[in-house]
Structure 1
Amino acid sequence: MNNNKLFLLDAYALIYRAYYAFIKNPRINSKGQNTSAIFGFVNTLEEILRKENPTHIAVVFDSPEPSFRHIKYEEYKAQREATPEDIKASIPIIKEILQAYNIPILEIPGYEADDVIGTIAKKMAAQGVDVYMMTPDKDYVQLVDDHIFIYKPRYGNNDFDILDKEKVIEKYSLSHPMQMIDMLALMGDASDNIPGCPGIGPKTAQKLLKEFGSVENILNNTDKLKGSVKNKIVENKDQILFSKFLATIKTDVPIEVKIEDFKRKEIDEEALKRIFEKLEFRTLLTRVFKNENKKPVQGMLFEEETTNFKNNTIEQNSTSKKIIAIHTTPHTYKMVKEEKELIELCNEICSQKSVCFDTETTGMNPLLSELVGLSFAYKEGEAFYVPIDNDRGKAQQRIEIFRPFFENEKIEKVGQNIKYDILELRNYDIRVRGKLFDTMIAHYLINPEIPHSMDHMAKMYLNYTTIHIDELIGPRGKNQKNMRDINPEIVCKYSAEDADITLKLKNILEKELQENNLEKLFNEIESPLIYVLADMEWTGVRLDLEALEQLAEEYRKEMNQIEKEIIEMAGVEFNINSPKQIGEVLFDKMKIIDNPKKTRTGQYSTSEEELEKLRSKHPIIEKILEQRSLKKLLSTYIEAFPQLINPKTGKIHTSFNQTATATGRLSSSNPNLQNIPIRDERGKEIRKVFIPDEGCTFLSADYSQIELRIMAHLSKDKNMIEAFNKGQDIHAATASKIFKIPIEEITPDMRRKAKTANFGIIYGITPYGLSQRLGISRSEAKKLIEEYFTTFPDVKRYMDESISKAREQGYVETIFGRK
């Protein structure tokens, strides 16, 4: 049996993926160097080395010379934008890093990475070597075989999917992986500018291949095809065959290789350290070179056996660090059940300045679930687990023991997504008090673009794989178990590990907050906000269910009437909820415009954006848009709200998320209460179903022109500040200065234009955009913008400086230092 495991990495595919993962918040070091592509690529490489521990590895680059595809077809990949300069600058450094890792770099003149990887994969697989092609590109599917797999990064996180023959066949509805070539030949590939057959999408391609097996067989049996599909295939025969040529990965590139050429070797630690230090990769330095052989923790409160296993992973010819987990790292986790020991534990944690705690519960909703256990950690490497009884009375007695800790304002409480724990404890009349440190929020401020889960951070910062909850209760679904069904000894390991790892992360993230000057934002805004949001979620909001049902009935009647009118206008019965049928009615039957826009699959585009452009072409368009609006209001709000009411409180309790947007804006979910429409009458009717508790009144408060006040503060523009200080109507004052007439003579139309300019120009609106909003000519809009900047010169200066700073550093900062 061949135990060799060869990983072949498609360099450019992974580098581009890494670069764009940080595009909204690039990693810029003190020298102004954008290291996003380098950092992301090395992170992925480290993940592979630690998680998969390959015996053999190589990284393959596209050749800078034109490939045979470019020579045969000038349009091949021609639609792609030029390689960003930051990526170009990163390539030599990435190659230097690979040399320090002692990983072979392959680049064959005139060939793309796909062809080189395909050739090596087939050669090695023939020798019984398991080959993993690391790439997000679907082209590689055609190469998958018994010994060849795709190791595909998932979008947005550090997890991976392994695609074998069975998964490929199931995912793409193929009879064998090689059919992917025929698939691409028929439907084309926009990413490589392979034309395919116009009007043939994935479903049609799959159907044809299921019946005929290959492109050649389809072309030999066109007499068996029908309708428009037949016409498209016959008309584009040569293009289909040429597309197949372009889509086929070569497996006979002239390269002589042996499996020994790719064997893992010892890394050049000194060289790698020098590069990481130069790039200011502090996190990677810690993770890659830290000493993992820590001594067991001593001085536990209670006697118990200490787990202290040595790393038992298979020795490989590499000094790259192996990933560690609960069974391979020293720890002392203790279950505490006896009352005397519980009191001693409470006394001990009450004597600490900072303690990490975690809750284990029966569900995901803290307002409906019950406590199963509590875990505590105040020293790295040790933690305590307290199981909570199923009986509510006994559970309350046990939780009461720890009330002095939870309600002690002098003790810092550490947690991961600690708002959940605060709400869970509130079910037992425990009000958590004191300074908070939420590792999820800390990491969000430091790195807003990447995942903030404890599992992800443990891998990133600690080189540690945590016990995943799915290992205990199974994946989400009807068969998922309840945490209370799991053996308490197993829950103890899981929960204690959570508290221990969270504490370790806190100690790292606290320093990173300091290094990034984010302490003030974290301590004065984000952390105190946790308590505020917890109170808001706990309070919830009441609904007038009778009014909601009445509204639902009215909207359904109105929607039915509109649908009848649409059918009458069309003159034919059709499914109004089918975009395909709407397109056929509007553009084939009614022919409301010539040359309507089509999607990549050849279907007419009937998106809201496209229909809005056609609103004036025919009354049926307005009716279709109105029907869609009503349908969305019904499904998203009116019919959904009653299902979300908490049976205990009779209210809706939304979740406010602090870490969901890169900009720091709060988001709302389950349900999303931020997107309820307000600008039209129907939206206002929906808002009316939210009612205050008995004896209470809703109070609506808003800032007055908050964006303009912030702009005045940031830009220090004297004219804008003067208008605010005088208490003037800022829009009328702006109009007065732009149009150069006294404020008393400003007409409503002038004020409207000034208001649009005020709120549009500071967000970078173009003359075209402003002309569209105001219904004026582009030249008039251009003049308005110029007059605006003449009136507020420091606003223009501030905006230009911000853009310049963003270009130099890769980011700008808010008043409180958020990047």
Structure 2
Amino acid sequence: MKKKIFLLDAYALIYRSHYAFINRPITNSKGQITSAVFGFVKTLQELIKAEKPTHLAVAFDPAGLTFRSDIYPPYKAQRPATPEDIKWAVPVIKSILKAYNIPVVQVSGFEADDVIGTLAKRFADNDAEVFMYTPDKDYIQLVSDNIYLYKPKKSGNEAEVLGVTEVCEQFGLSSPIKFIDILALWGDVSDNIPGAKGIGEKTATKLIAEFGSAEEVIANAGTLKGKIQDIVTSHADSILLSKTLATIDLNVPIALELDSLVLQPANNQELIMLFEELEFRSMLKDLSQTPVPKLVPAGVPTQGDLFDTGLFASTSSYKTIADFSKKYQLVDNENNLMLFLDKLKYVNAFCFDTETTSLDVFNCSLVGIAFSWEVNHGYFVYLPKESVVRERWMKELSLFLTSPKILKIGQNLKFDIMVLAQNGISVAGPLFDTMIAHYLLDPESRHGMDLLSERYLNYKPIGITDLIGSKGVSQLNMSQVSPERVSEYACEDADVTWQLYEIFKREIEDKQLTKLFYDIELPLVSVLAEMEMAGVRVDISSLEAYGIVLNGQLIDLDNDIKRLAGLPDLNISSPKQLGYVLFDILKLGDGSDSVKKTKSKQYSTSEEVLQKMIGQHEIVGKILDFRSLKKLLSSYIESIPQLINSKTGLIHSNFNQAVTSTGRLSSNNPNLQNIPVRGERGREIRKAFIPINTESVLLSADYSQIELRIMAHLSGDQGLIDAFIAGEDIHTATAAKIFGMPLSEVTRDMRSKAKTANFGIIYGISSFGLSQRLNIGRAEAKALIDGYFNSYPGVKSYMENVVAKARETGFVDTIFGRRRYLPGIGSNNQMMRGLAERNAINAPIQGSAADIIKIAMIAIQKEIKGSDLVSKMIMQVHDELVFNVLESELDVVRPMVTSCMQDAVALSVPLIVESGIGNTWLDAH
């Protein structure tokens, strides 16, 4: 008969038991909460009875940090402190396990899953089956022949046992070990594994099923569609880091033989003493087979009573979250409104959250507003539909929402501000946005309220789909849901956000982010709201005409590629077919790293691979051009007309403040940052952006070489500083230094090489990277870089110092204190370490540039409003601001914009702004 080995994940089961009774905790006469101990022991007893294991051990996480925290300091750092009840329970449980003669396994520096993984792989064979008893999904990667994931039973169901077949069918994987790659992309909120922000479980599963591994997804990023391509490309280092963090270590040093796990008879006398101390009457009864009187106070449920009602079985995992003790009130009549307003007038800070019929701020209806200013309390003002009464209620609420003295708290406040603006209320006063706060605290993570609630409050809020249903024709909107249900949902959102505010305001202070948060990021929320509401006019006829031209070019490219391939039926968008053409038919590549294959034996045709083959065959350049053109058509020419708001006739791009890890703003619908800067195609798209009316023009104001100026300031290199102060062309000046000649003798080619070096150094470029970019030999590229550092020794010192500081602290920061955490800086993986070092050099520069333009935007918006100008700021793209300016105001606005941008911060070199005006964005740029 096969050995049946059970390995238990202690803390997963202890937490599960703790939260099973969170609303009705089990206590003894001493006042001790014994829920976690009782639940764990009951689970153990039921397991032994039902499964009859031959061998059994329990693995505990050690005290202190593990090796994953060394790799990535934020790993699990977001988790709240262990509840005192669990701290008390752990040594008690270990004593009980000792009485059961069950081994406790705990290894310093390694988590329980590493211990269980090591033992499972060591002991599983044809004569022994290993069952890993845990609700934790991370263990899926360990499932293999004779190793199973044994998940605790849920209400009304038997325990779930997952083998290789079940895992592969459930996740569409070729092997359970591929679940590591899913986690690399998906991340893990509970463990603070970042993953790729924007990729969920379904997308991650689909990508791994297609490409085979996280590395191959990254390698093939160029073949991905839409925003997934951008997400994978921008999160490559995070994905690789997440894979390392998610991989269970199978080489934990444990001197443990299988014979020591044989299940032995329990020491009943020890158990009786422990159970008497704990007052576990039902368990004592089972041990002694004699009735034991119940000594708990009347009305308090006993352990046996709780289990008889099936409450324990209803808890699926230690991540199950307990319900709040909610005190939420629906305000839907005059009397309740007056009572609510009487309470509101005594508070100096409140959280609010709008509920609307859609996310389109210009066309949605406002259903109501939720408020909270006390933990577990909330009020939902359900607005009347009758216009006169509704207007009066809104007027009453506006007294508080527009008060300059009351702190307004929210999650993604920009949306609420814009919704209320459409309803005649201009939110004023100090703000606190929990989404933005968390973005500063942990820029690599996701910042949605539900995720933050689970992470920081151990609470899972009501999901929106639970309220209105999934997407599709059957989905409701908020006005179609009963007021009572909307009230519970909305009050909970406000309540959760209030509680997050109380946590984040302390962390912002602790991490010295107050100036960045309160002086830059929070004021920017209102600026972005006004910029988005201003909107941009687009000449659709211009786009459509250019679309005809581009479609003609696309057809020509399609025909050319098929002709060169010799395959008239070739699907150019198919990586499989394209790989066959390039590598099997045309025999391209150099036989080494240019010919990459995915795990599914499919050739890689990513942009990176194709770029290396430019020059080998005419077809390569045409394929790259085909892809670029197709993306341009889908992202802009075809999509922009669909984005015009039916109410305003304008496009209102969404400017995202909490997406990029560097602090830069991003945008979507459409993505303005990705419009090509150079070349005819980008210019033609810019030509379609026009002023709001015939009385206006567009003004474009752009920082000149701001990142190089910041490098000069941060590095303190006197050569760079002198060149900027003297007003020299920095690329010509650099070329003169590198090549050792007067400025007047610098050729265009020399200047071009120096320019590439200037900007490449900011991104930590290597000699190999520079040689690729300039199409020169590595020796020449190395000589260029050496010449650069000899010319600007302060830059070299800065780069060395900033990388050293990052290794010491785990992060780098900008001039204004914005942090970029670099978990891979100490990695043994050369690629991961190299990425982190390049980010260490670039992040302070790029982040400081982002902060500077934000400061300028705040100052400009203040001047525009203070001067009662009609002109508006309408776009921010990289280092450029675009304005719709009334021609009669141009003489005021242009110098004011220039002044605010140049005076945003005092550096050791001047900030220079170049501006232009025109009847299109192209003309102004």
Q: Shorter-chain-normalised TM-score: which range?
A: 0.5 to 0.7
Pairwise mapping of residues 26-425 of structure 1 onto structure 2 (< 5 A)?
26-27=72-73, 36-37=74-75, 39=77, 92-94=108-110, 113-114=120-121, 116=123, 122=129, 132=135, 134-135=137-138, 137-140=140-143, 148-149=150-151, 168=167, 170-171=169-170, 256-258=261-263, 325-326=322-323, 329-339=324-334, 341-343=336-338, 345-346=340-341, 348-390=343-385, 394-425=389-420
Pairwise mapping of residues 580-599 of structure 1 onto structure 2 (< 5 A)?
580-592=576-588, 595=591, 596-599=595-598
Residue in structure 1 matched with residue 609 of structure 2 by the alignment: 610
Matched, 1:450 2:445: yes
Amino acid in structure 1 at the alignment position of 2:150? I
Residue in structure 2 matched with residue 83 of structure 1 by the alignment: none
**1:133·1:148 contact (CA, 8 Å) conserved in 2?**
no
For 2:334 and 2:258, locate their aligned partners in 1 and report how far apart those are by CA, in whole Å: 72
For 2:765 and 2:542, locate their aligned partners in 1 and report how far apart those are by CA, in whole Å: 41
| Range that drifts further, 579-588 or 661-670 | 579-588
For 1:816 and 1:578, locate their aligned partners in 2 and report how far apart those are by CA, in whole Å: 46
For 1:538 and 1:260, locate their aligned partners in 2 and report how far apart those are by CA, in whole Å: 73
- What is the RMSD computed on CA atoms of the aligned residues? 4.5
**1:8·1:133 contact (CA, 8 Å) conserved in 2?**
no
TM-score w.r.t. the length of structure 1 is 0.68
Residue in structure 1 matched with residue 652 of structure 2 by the alignment: 653
Amino acid in structure 2 at the alignment position of 1:135? D
Pairwise mapping of residues 705-720 of structure 1 onto structure 2 (< 5 A)?
705-720=705-720
Unaligned ranges ≥5, structure 2: 1-41, 49-55, 95-105, 154-159, 180-207, 213-249, 251-256, 272-308, 820-925
**1:736·1:743 contact (CA, 8 Å) conserved in 2?**
yes
For 1:629 and 1:789, locate their aligned partners in 2 and report how far apart those are by CA, in whole Å: 36
3-state DSSP class of the match of 1:603? coil
Matched, 1:579 2:581: no
Residue in structure 1 matched with residue 526 of structure 2 by the alignment: 531
For 1:719 and 1:9, locate their aligned partners in 2 and report how far apart those are by CA, in whole Å: 64
In the TM superposition, structure 1's runs of 4+ consecutive aligned residues that sit over 6 Å from their partners are: 5-12, 15-18, 42-46, 117-121, 161-167, 181-184, 201-205, 320-323
Tell me by how many angstroms 1:642 deviates: 2.1
User: For each residue in 1:202-223, what CA deviation from the matched residue of structure 2 results, as whole angstroms up to 9, or x when unmatched?
Assistant: 7999xxxxxxxxxxxxxxxxxx
**1:9·1:134 contact (CA, 8 Å) conserved in 2?**
no
3-state DSSP class of the match of 1:92? coil
**1:9·1:133 contact (CA, 8 Å) conserved in 2?**
no
User: For each residue in 1:433-452, what CA deviation from the matched residue of structure 2 results, as whole angstroms up to 9, or x when unmatched?
Assistant: 11110011111211223332
Matched, 1:471 2:466: yes
Amino acid in structure 2 at the alignment position of 1:627? F
Matched, 1:638 2:637: yes
Residue in structure 2 matched with residue 675 of structure 1 by the alignment: 674
Residue in structure 2 matched with residue 508 of structure 1 by the alignment: 503
Tell me by how many angstroms 1:598 deviates: 2.7
Judged with a 3 Å threshold, the aligned counterparts in structure 2 of structure 1 residues 351 and 171 are, in CA distance, closer, same or farther, namely same
**1:18·1:37 contact (CA, 8 Å) conserved in 2?**
no
Tell me by how many angstroms 1:597 deviates: 3.6
Judged with a 3 Å threshold, the aligned counterparts in structure 2 of structure 1 residues 144 and 136 are, in CA distance, closer, same or farther, namely closer
For 2:633 and 2:259, locate their aligned partners in 1 and report how far apart those are by CA, in whole Å: 62
Judged with a 3 Å threshold, the aligned counterparts in structure 2 of structure 1 residues 336 and 43 are, in CA distance, closer, same or farther, namely closer
| Range that drifts further, 546-555 or 347-356 | 347-356
User: For each residue in 1:158-195, what CA deviation from the matched residue of structure 2 results, as whole angstroms up to 9, or x when unmatched?
Assistant: xxx99799964643569xxxx959999xxxxxxxxxxx
Judged with a 3 Å threshold, the aligned counterparts in structure 2 of structure 1 residues 183 and 732 are, in CA distance, closer, same or farther, namely closer
Tell me by how many angstroms 1:482 deviates: 1.5
3-state DSSP class of the match of 1:358? strand
Tell me by how many angstroms 1:341 deviates: 4.3
Matched, 1:806 2:806: yes
Amino acid in structure 2 at the alignment position of 1:697? V
| Range that drifts further, 701-710 or 376-385 | 376-385
For 2:393 and 2:127, locate their aligned partners in 1 and report how far apart those are by CA, in whole Å: 62
Residue in structure 2 matched with residue 227 of structure 1 by the alignment: none
Amino acid in structure 1 at the alignment position of 2:421? R
Tell me by how many angstroms 1:347 deviates: 5.4
For 2:466 and 2:125, locate their aligned partners in 1 and report how far apart those are by CA, in whole Å: 36
For 2:538 and 2:777, locate their aligned partners in 1 and report how far apart those are by CA, in whole Å: 47
Judged with a 3 Å threshold, the aligned counterparts in structure 2 of structure 1 residues 534 and 471 are, in CA distance, closer, same or farther, namely same
Residue in structure 1 matched with residue 726 of structure 2 by the alignment: 726
Tell me by how many angstroms 1:119 deviates: 9.9
**2:332·2:384 contact (CA, 8 Å) conserved in 1?**
no
**2:150·2:161 contact (CA, 8 Å) conserved in 1?**
no
Query: Percent sequence identity over matched residues?
Result: 42
Unaligned ranges ≥5, structure 1: 28-35, 58-89, 99-103, 152-160, 185-200, 206-245, 247-251, 266-311
Amino acid in structure 2 at the alignment position of 1:587? F
Tell me by how many angstroms 1:683 deviates: 2.2
For 1:801 and 1:494, locate their aligned partners in 2 and report how far apart those are by CA, in whole Å: 50
Amino acid in structure 1 at the alignment position of 2:680? E
For 2:621 and 2:318, locate their aligned partners in 1 and report how far apart those are by CA, in whole Å: 62
Residue in structure 1 matched with residue 782 of structure 2 by the alignment: 782
For 1:762 and 1:780, locate their aligned partners in 2 and report how far apart those are by CA, in whole Å: 19
For 1:768 and 1:337, locate their aligned partners in 2 and report how far apart those are by CA, in whole Å: 68
For 1:133 and 1:576, locate their aligned partners in 2 and report how far apart those are by CA, in whole Å: 42
Within the candidate set 535, 557, 578, 1:540 is matched to 535
TM-score w.r.t. the length of structure 2 is 0.60
User: For each residue in 1:627-646, what CA deviation from the matched residue of structure 2 results, as whole angstroms up to 9, or x when unmatched?
Assistant: 22222222222122222222
Residue in structure 1 matched with residue 625 of structure 2 by the alignment: 626
For 1:500 and 1:183, locate their aligned partners in 2 and report how far apart those are by CA, in whole Å: 39
Pairwise mapping of residues 422-433 of structure 1 onto structure 2 (< 5 A)?
422-433=417-428
Higher relative contact order (CA 8 A, sep 6+): 2
Amino acid in structure 2 at the alignment position of 1:674? Q
**1:358·1:375 contact (CA, 8 Å) conserved in 2?**
yes
**1:335·1:492 contact (CA, 8 Å) conserved in 2?**
yes
Tell me by how many angstroms 1:511 deviates: 1.0
For 1:364 and 1:120, locate their aligned partners in 2 and report how far apart those are by CA, in whole Å: 58
Residue in structure 2 matched with residue 770 of structure 1 by the alignment: 770
Tell me by how many angstroms 1:527 deviates: 0.2
Amino acid in structure 1 at the alignment position of 2:329? K
Tell me by how many angstroms 1:571 deviates: 2.9
Judged with a 3 Å threshold, the aligned counterparts in structure 2 of structure 1 residues 165 and 368 are, in CA distance, closer, same or farther, namely farther
Alignment coverage as a number of residue pairs:
630
